[in-house]
Structures are given as C-alpha cells and as structure tokens.
Structure 1
Amino acid sequence: MNTNVSPEVGNVEQLALLRMGVPGLDNILGGGLTPHRLYLLEGAPGAGKTTVAIQFLREGAARGESVLYVTLSETKAELEGVAISHGWDMRGVEVREMLPAQDALEPDEQHTMFHPSEVELSETTLRILADVDVIKPTRVVFDSLSELRLLAGSSLRYRRQILALKQFFTGRMCTVLLLDDLTASDQDLQVQSIAHAVIRLEQLNPDYGASRRRLVVSKYRGKEFRGGFHDYKIERGGLRVFPRLVAAEHVSPLTQTRIPSDLPALDQLLGGGLEKGTSTLFVGAPGTGKSSVAVQFAIAAARRGECAALFIFDESINTLRTRCEGMGMDLATHIDSGRIRVRQIDPAELSPGEFVHEIRDAVEKHHATVVVIDSLNGYLNAMPDERFLIAQLHELLTYLGQYGVATMLIGAQHGLIGMQMQTPVDASYLADAVVLLRYYEIDGEVRQAISVLKKRGGAHERTIRAFTLTSDGVRVGEPLRNFRGILTGIPVPIDGVRSTP
C-alpha cells in the first residue's frame, strides 16, 4: 500500500509501532515498524545500513528492550568503531559474531555446512537460534544476507532458510531487520517477496560535490507510508532523513494581509505591499538590486517584531552584512537579535531535500513570516534536472503559501541590457507577483528601473519607476513618463522632451 499520509494521524495501531530511532524515517514509515515482522534494509556498501541498524537497536535498548546484533561479516570491534564515530556506546546491545573460525581456512576443514536435507538448518543458523533462545530479544539485526546466500549455495535452499528464520523469529515475538549489501550479481527478489517491508538506500555520486543519498520504501504490507524518494545524510550522531514535502498535508485557514516594505514609493508601486501567503519573483540582471529589495522586506518584518529567513546561495553572510551596512540597512542588528536568520547554502554539499527541511524548520520552529531564496540560479545548481526543480519548487511555494509566508525568489537573468535577457529557469508562472529590475542607458550613464509585471494579490501600478541604491538604502523614484523604450535599455524621449529620468 503506497499513499501519502500525514504521520500525525493517531490510532491504536500506531501506538504499538516500533520507532526506528532514525530522525525522519518514522515519518516516512507512517509511524514506525509493525512489531514481530521481518524487514529488509538493502543498499550498496557505504549507504549507511549498519548505522541504521545500530540506531534501530539503540532505540530499543533505550526503551528497556532486549536487542541483538548478529554479524556474519563485521567483527564486534568494527561495530563498536562505527558507534564511537557517532559518539555512541553499545551498552544494552548484544553482539554475536558468527564469523568463520580461523581454522576454516585450512584445506582439510573446508566442507559444506548444509546437510542435504532441505529442512535441516546449518550449523551457523543453529548457533544464531541458540543465542536467541538465551537472550530473548525483541529486536534483532541480521548482518548480512550476502554471507547467508553464499552458505546456502542454491537459491531454493536460500529461500527456505529465510522462510525458516522468519517463522522462528515470528514465533518468538521478534522484530527482525535483515541487511543486504546488494553484492549479488543479479537483483535478489527472494527476500523482498518474503519481507514485510523493504527499505532501499541509494548513494549517488555526481560529477562534482558531495555524494547524494536517498532512500525509498518500495513495499510495506498493510501499512500506509510516504512513497517516493527521500534525501538523507550521514552525520555524526547517525543517519538523518528528510521526508519529501507534501504541501497538501499542511492546509490551514489564512487571512490575507499585506506586508509593507517601509518604503512608501515601493509599496505604492506594489499596490500597498506584498500579501502574506504569496510568492514574489524579483528578476533582473546581476547588480540591479533584486537582493536589496528582498532584504528591505525582511528588515521591515523584523522591525514589526516578526521573523524572516534568508537562504543565500551566491554570496557569503559577511559580504551580505557588509553590503547592507554600506547602504545604511541595519541587517546586522536584526541578525544578532535573531529576528533575521541567514543560512548560507552550498549547493555542492546540500541536497534539495535537506534544503527544503531547512526552510520548514525556519517556518515551523522559528515562525518566519518572510522567506527569501537568493537565488534560483543557485537552487538550480543544487538540482540540475530542471523538470524536478520546477515540481519541487511548486510544492515548496504551495506549502509556504498555506503557512501564510511571504516568499521572495531572486532570479538573475543572463545579459545586462536590451531585450535579449534570459532566465536559466522560468519560474514566473509559479510566482504570484513578478517584479522586474532593469538597466537602461541615458546621458552616458547606466541607471536602474523597477516595475511590477504581474500581481495576483490585487491591483498594482503599471508604471516604470526610477530605482537607485544609495548609502541611505533603497530608493524608488517617480514614474519615468517622459521616455519610451525603458525596458529595451535605450530609452527615447517622448515628443522631443529631454529630461533626466
């Protein structure tokens, strides 16, 4: 069963679910794992299977459960090394090594460990079952199936072995997590068909930047879960999952109100300001003042006692503070007070899912009413496939709108002047308002103009106004009425009238 559901739905079934101990994963699993079932966690080496397994057992140990880690590939010292790297200890976690004995390397000692009988368990399996009867665990991790597959010899015997293990553990009220490193030459569907649920970890290696990791729940019998791919990362403290955003789960009533910029001329141009719950795209050539206008709205929100969040891709926080200081904008004061939160994003290191998670934190935990994404060009670099960028951006803007957030997107166009300006990704149809900033030439000088091309929230001025960045901040001037062709970059006086715009 694969549907998108909210994890907050409370019912009797969910109260009995086992928590994984992995932030975000229970959200995807609809609350956790159904007890007394067999589960498969698969992924290539390095994807984080052992980390998830230890987190799963430590969660059980923290709840007073008896837990067991059965390893056929790694030693106890290696597992403890993984735990130490995350700042954990293994107290409460029983570890049983089922590694081949040292004398097994001797030619005389090499023999088939399985008897011909299809119903008789191997020596290795019998040792595992004996430990289970003594420890009586409620959670068991079996690492890994590759060794068991080799011991079984044939696919038929391997499947029977897994079925026997499933029956044995279920009868003893155990929840079992089987790890598979996918080292088999062909995809193994044997265990997938037997397991109650299948979680797959994937690791992607782009041409540049850090590895991207994502997981998908491909199967969960009788349980609703969040389908699709979800980004995750491995950091000190364990694996952390960023569930895919579903805006439909966050619908809430909203009273639409306008937020001013504290610049009368700009608010007049915008028909009174920007509406909460809408998105605005500031588009123009580099240096036209797009980011400065967005920061002006953030500062105005901070002055009203609200919180604003800036996510910047293209410049450092220090550069932003210095630039605003040079224009007399008191950004630093509001950053220090916590009213404005600035997060510098490195698209080579941050996955799209983690970026969305950062925005959700700003909105849900810090109650940001203004969110600035500067810029879409950097966002595009974080997700090179434009098709999925637009789909994710649409979901994100819908979510922010339903929370009553005024979202501002910065889009830098290619080119500096003229009509051949291009935007690397067209998000104008997604935004509720589009504000255009352009350069134009007059009297041997390059100047700037601002205009509103679109605004769904209400009426706005159709004029093109003069726009400047000064040591006193952003300045929006009077409409440029004595010229035509401002947007072409080379305006022409109307009826021979020559006045400086």
Structure 2
Amino acid sequence: MEPQNSDTTDFLSCGVPGLDEVLGGGLTADRLYLVEGEPGTGKTTLALQFLIEGARQGEHVLYITLAETAVELRSVAQSHGWDMAGIQIEEIIPGENALDPDQQYTIFHPAEIEMGTTTQRIVAAIDKSRPRRVVLDSLSELQLLAENPLRYRRQVLALKQYLTSRSCTTVLLDDRTALSTDLQVRSVAHAVITLELADQAYGAERRRIRVVKYRGIAFHGGAHDYKIVRGGLRVYPRLVAASSRVISARRQLSSGMPALDQLIGGGLEEGMSTLISGPSGTGKSSLAAQFVHAASQRGEKSAMFLFEEARNNLLNRCANLGLDLAGAEDSGLLTIQQVDPAELAPGQLTHAVVQAVERGVKILVIDSLNGYLNAMPDERFLATYLHEMLTYLGQRGVVSIIVGVQRGMIGTASSAVDASYIADNIIMLRYFEAEGEVRQAISVFKKRGSAHERTIRRFEVGTGGIKVGPVLRGFHGILTGVPTYDSAEVAQSFSQPAGDIQI
C-alpha cells in the first residue's frame, strides 16, 4: 500500500468554483472529510463535482451510494450537463427481496447482519477499483444500521483507517436524517463543511456554506453564500477587505463639468466613496451617469449595478441627456448589470464587484442603496456588508458612487442608512419651492479627499442635458424646502445663465 500523504500543502481541487479559496487552497490529499447538510442543500451535487474534477485529472474515482440509485445520480449529472463516463458508481442498496417475509432475520438482530454486510461491500468496492477519490453517500444509513453511538463511531474510525491506508481522499455525506443528531464523525473527520438553507419571507432561499473545522489549515471562516445553478455549486467567498490592501497614489477624476468639479473641489479622488443623496426624481442617477460618461470619454472602464431602473430605460434616458452610455458599453468600457434583489445573494453582488475590479474598472456605481438594502437577508448587516465592499474598492483605487433615495420630497428628508458611516463624500440634491415653481439645488455636504465649496447651486436635468448653475444667493432656508429670499438678489441669481450644459 502507498503511504498516507503527510504534506499538508498537497491540495486537491474540489471542482467547485470559489470553494478552494474558502478552504485555503483545497482539500489535503489522503484525508477524510465530512460534508453535512439537510436534504436539498446540494451535497450530492458537490460530491459529483469533486469526483468529476478528479476524473478530469485522470484519477480513479468511486461513488458509493447507500440510498440513491445509479440512475438517479446520472440524472442529476445530466441536469448539469456533466459526463459521468469516468466515474464508477457502486450501489449498496437493499434489493427487492428485503420486502420478502422469508428473508427477514429471526435469530440474529438485523443490525448485526446488515452492518457487517454493508461494510464488507464497501471495502470490496474500494479494493476492486483502487480509487484516489471516494464519496460515501450517506452516513445516515450507516448510523441507522449501527443503532448505537459506540458501534457507529467504531465503524467510522475503522473505515477512516482503512481508507487512509489506501491513499484515498474521501468525502462522507451526512444528510442529518438519522434518528439522533450525532457529532461523532465531526471529531473523526479532518475537515467539516456544512451546507445551510434558509427560507426567506419573499424571494429565493439563501444558501450558505461554512467550514466548521479544518485541521492545520488557515481556512476562510464564517458564512459564504453559494448558489446551485446549471453546472453545479458556485461559492461566493465572503469579502475581507484587509486581505487585499493595495496602496497607490490617488488622483482626481473629473466629472466632465467644470462647474460641478469646482463645487466638489476638483473631482472625485480615486479610492473614495461618494453618496449621491436626494428625493426621488432629483437627478441622482443622471448625475452618477455623468461621471461614468466622463470616464468613458477618458478611455477608462466603469461598471454600473442597477437595482430599480431597467437597463434599456437608463440607456435611453441618458441618450436624451447627451450621455452616450450605449456607445461606452459597446466599446467594452462600460458594463451594466441588472440586479434582481429578490434573487440576489449578498455574496453574489460582492463577487460581481470583485470581478469588475479585476477587469480594471475605475468607477463603480450602485443604483441604488435602497435596492441593495432589499437584497440583504437582514437589514442589520447592510452597513457592515457595504462598508467592507467600499473599503475593498477604496484600497483598489476605485471611485465608488452610491445612489441613495431619501424619504420625503420637500423639507427634512431621512435615509435608511447612516451616510456618515457609509461614504467618504456626500453630494446632496434637493427640491425647493420658489415663486410658484419646484426647483432643484445641489450642494456638497461632506468630502474627505479635498476642500470643496460650501455653496448651494442651481441644478437642472432636462432635454438640454445636466446643468449646474450659479450659487443661489439671496435665499435663506433652502434646506427646509420653503426658503425666504431677497427678491432683488434672487432675480439677479436666476438671470445668470446656467454654468454648464455638459453633453
């Protein structure tokens, strides 16, 4: 027999996208692993991916099933478009004669006969095929046959010693359907991977994977989102910004509008996050699109994640404002991803953001914060998720722009999240009433990267484009929505032409 592998850096790939990263490199060869989870969490799918990866690398692989038939396993593989040609399946399932009264045991207890027979058939299958990777599905059947914890633990320990002496990397599946919850195998296994399924009040269920233990390996702890799609499981590792620090000099990125650049202190600094806040309809998304348009004009890449507005509506609306986002998308400088909050796992958005950064985007827009809030499984964690993401983007020198819709139209407006915690910069758009008309104003409330104007300026979005006008002098109380003003100064202010019409 080959000696058991003693190198803890000799990893085998799981064949599951993202899982090797969570495990700190993969599965150490010649060890025994436990994958546990309730029915429907994807254990069988994960196990098949593990074996298919081994077969792809030319290894002998074996799937020992104590419950599902080979036909059922192949139908699972077919639904994912997999070829099972390189996978040997060994069925150890009671036959039809088990229902025959003449076959029932009378002198010996059934457990004494069936447990021994099952173990013998498992050993015989492994001796015959001499596999490098083995899956045993499932431990619940062995636990039911063993009937008591002592016998069950002894059988699992014996099985572990036998498998490691054969230089097998073994994955044991446990669906937790046995009569009692037993932690015996957790102490025996080299690593324990738990799959969890959580129902939501609305939308798709949330699936999470955790590595409970992994001896001698610095794995990525905590809960990680995963999805079961055609092609198998896809794991989205939880983002840890501290592990991806990149320090670089920061430069300012212009909005392409001189008056707006003047207001915000020259532009938005690389690595800074900006919250564009205001009531519905004030032009927040259009202003964010202006920064994207300016980046594409410089030949820089951008990405936009839309939660509310449809992609076509955004492109058509921006075209009417003279912002050619469609052309930027066609040239590959812009990617627009439509997000369905009801179907989104938080880790999926994080994964998409990381991929965008790896493609070299300089500006990333999330439209809107409210949509992102609805995508979270629990509102309590929104600030933590978002702060970690923005920290990661900042360390990579990406300008992140978040659109936030405030409650209320005129007067005091409130936001669902503490903006001072979320963003480095805050650009505020407001409605106010003057001379029988509802008008708009723009101001910068906060900016960490540089000095900025403290003024409140006119702001318009119309068929002529986006306009940032002169300072609204003579007004008092614009932030209340119903200001008082000096008619002479106001008349002079509104008689001045709008500062910029940027196309």
Q: What's the TM-score bracket when you normalise by the shorter of the two chains?
A: over 0.9
- Once the two structures are TM-superposed, the CA of residue 15 in structure 1 deviates from its matched residue by 5.3
- Once the two structures are TM-superposed, the CA of residue 428 in structure 1 deviates from its matched residue by 2.8
- Once the two structures are TM-superposed, the CA of residue 427 in structure 1 deviates from its matched residue by 2.9
Aligned residue runs from structure 1 range 22-421, under 5 A: 22-111=16-105, 112-115=109-112, 122-364=116-358, 366-419=359-412, 421=413
* C-alpha distance in 2 between matches for 1:482 and 1:45: 68
Give the aligned residue type for 2:168. C
Give the aligned residue type for 1:435. I
Structure 1, residues 260-306: CA drift from partner, whole Å, max 9, x if none? 01100000000100000000001100011111111100110011111
* C-alpha distance in 1 between matches for 2:281 and 2:338: 19
Contact 1:22–1:55 under 8 Å retained in 2: yes
Give the aligned residue type for 1:115. E
Give the aligned residue type for 2:373. L
- Once the two structures are TM-superposed, the CA of residue 387 in structure 1 deviates from its matched residue by 2.5
- Once the two structures are TM-superposed, the CA of residue 121 in structure 1 deviates from its matched residue by 6.3
* C-alpha distance in 2 between matches for 1:13 and 1:293: 56
Give the aligned residue type for 1:398. T
Give the aligned residue type for 1:387. R
Q: Among residues 425, 433, 438, which one is paired with 1:433 in the alignment? A: 425
| Unmatched segments (≥5 aa) in structure 2 | 1-5, 495-503
- Once the two structures are TM-superposed, the CA of residue 425 in structure 1 deviates from its matched residue by 1.8
Moved more, 54-63 or 100-109: 100-109
Contact 1:14–1:31 under 8 Å retained in 2: no
* C-alpha distance in 2 between matches for 1:240 and 1:170: 29
Give the aligned residue type for 2:116. S
Contact 2:144–2:178 under 8 Å retained in 1: no
* C-alpha distance in 1 between matches for 2:100 and 2:324: 76
Identity %: 58
1:81 is paired with a residue whose SS is helix
Structure 1, residues 104-152: CA drift from partner, whole Å, max 9, x if none? 1112312344439xxx961111011011111101110000011111111
- Once the two structures are TM-superposed, the CA of residue 384 in structure 1 deviates from its matched residue by 4.5
* C-alpha distance in 2 between matches for 1:152 and 1:67: 27
Match of 2:443 in 1: 451
* C-alpha distance in 1 between matches for 2:8 and 2:361: 31
Give the aligned residue type for 1:103. N
2:420 is paired with a residue whose SS is coil
* C-alpha distance in 1 between matches for 2:428 and 2:15: 48
Contact 1:377–1:425 under 8 Å retained in 2: no
Contact 1:113–1:122 under 8 Å retained in 2: no
1:429 is paired with a residue whose SS is helix
* C-alpha distance in 2 between matches for 1:13 and 1:308: 44
Match of 1:5 in 2: none
* C-alpha distance in 2 between matches for 1:433 and 1:334: 26
- Once the two structures are TM-superposed, the CA of residue 496 in structure 1 deviates from its matched residue by 6.8
* C-alpha distance in 2 between matches for 1:258 and 1:130: 69
Change (3 A) 1:375 1:295: same
* C-alpha distance in 2 between matches for 1:333 and 1:496: 45
* C-alpha distance in 1 between matches for 2:448 and 2:199: 41
| Unmatched segments (≥5 aa) in structure 1 | 1-11
TM-score (norm 1): 0.94
Contact 1:67–1:140 under 8 Å retained in 2: yes
* C-alpha distance in 2 between matches for 1:373 and 1:185: 48
Q: Among residues 411, 414, 423, which one is paired with 1:422 in the alignment? A: 414
* C-alpha distance in 2 between matches for 1:308 and 1:445: 36
Moved more, 152-161 or 223-232: 152-161
* C-alpha distance in 1 between matches for 2:372 and 2:131: 47
Give the aligned residue type for 2:317. R
Moved more, 185-194 or 165-174: 185-194
**Does 2:467 correspond to 1:475?**
yes
* C-alpha distance in 1 between matches for 2:24 and 2:311: 38
* C-alpha distance in 1 between matches for 2:328 and 2:354: 21
- Once the two structures are TM-superposed, the CA of residue 320 in structure 1 deviates from its matched residue by 0.6
- Once the two structures are TM-superposed, the CA of residue 14 in structure 1 deviates from its matched residue by 6.6
Q: CA RMSD in A?
A: 1.5
Contact 2:473–2:490 under 8 Å retained in 1: no
1:308 is paired with a residue whose SS is strand
* C-alpha distance in 2 between matches for 1:363 and 1:51: 30
Matched residues, number: 485
- Once the two structures are TM-superposed, the CA of residue 254 in structure 1 deviates from its matched residue by 1.2
Structure 1, residues 205-244: CA drift from partner, whole Å, max 9, x if none? 1011011111000011111100000000011111100000
* C-alpha distance in 2 between matches for 1:280 and 1:336: 26
* C-alpha distance in 1 between matches for 2:323 and 2:317: 9
2:422 is paired with a residue whose SS is coil
